[in-house]
């Protein structure tokens, strides 16, 4: 039986995500995180605010395990899609994530909380 592979970017999400650089002049309170990707086996959470489907590069806030070192930056989606986890698992999209301000995400994660 073939394993289930989650589609990270649905058409609905792609329609909501601005292109790379489109929100760079916005305050973090006005910038919206449209999706959350995560490692179901451990550390690694990525909050996506912008995306370029041609280069498969995203921009967002990444927490790789230490909230104090979490930061904004470019995220190569090809690399996330190529991650091979135990039991055939892959990086997943949080299907229950509700879009929220980047400011709220940063403050919550930096204070040790979870979204």
User: Would you list the domain boundaries of the chain?
Assistant: 11-110
Which residues lie below 8 Å from residue 30, measured CB to CB, with a gap of 6+? Answer: 23, 101
- Judge residue 13's burial from the number of C-beta atoms within 10 Å of its C-beta, 0-12 exposed, 13-18 middle, 19 or more buried: middle
Q: What is the pLDDT of residue 40?
A: 97
Question: Binning pLDDT at 50, 70 and 90, where does residue 7 land?
Answer: confident
Q: What is the pLDDT of residue 37?
A: 98
pLDDT digits (tens, 9 = 90+) for 49-61: 999 999 999 999 9
Radius of gyration of the chain (CA): 14
pLDDT digits (tens, 9 = 90+) for 85-98: 999 999 999 999 99
Residue 5 has pLDDT above 70, yes or no: no
Q: Give 43's DSSP letter.
A: S
Single pTM value for the model:
0.93
Q: Distance between CA atoms of 44 and 62, rounded to whole angstroms?
A: 7
Q: Distance between CA atoms of 97 and 79, rounded to whole angstroms?
A: 22
Q: Chain-wide mean pLDDT for the chain?
A: 94
Q: What is the pLDDT of residue 1?
A: 37
Average pLDDT over residues 13-32: 96
């Amino acid at each position: 039986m073939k394993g289930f592979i989650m589609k990270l970017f649905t058409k609905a999400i792609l329609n909501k995500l601005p292109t790379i650089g489109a929100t760079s002049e916005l305050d973090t309170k006005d910038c919206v995180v449209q999706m959350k990707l995560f490692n179901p086996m451990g550390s690694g959470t990525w909050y996506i605010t912008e995306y370029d489907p041609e280069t498969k590069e995203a921009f967002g806030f990444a927490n790789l395990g230490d909230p104090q070192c979490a930061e904004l930056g470019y995220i190569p989606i090809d690399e996330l899609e190529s991650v091979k986890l135990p039991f055939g698992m892959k990086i997943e999209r949080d299907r229950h994530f509700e879009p929220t301000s980047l400011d709220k995400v940063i403050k919550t994660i930096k204070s040790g909380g979870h979204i």
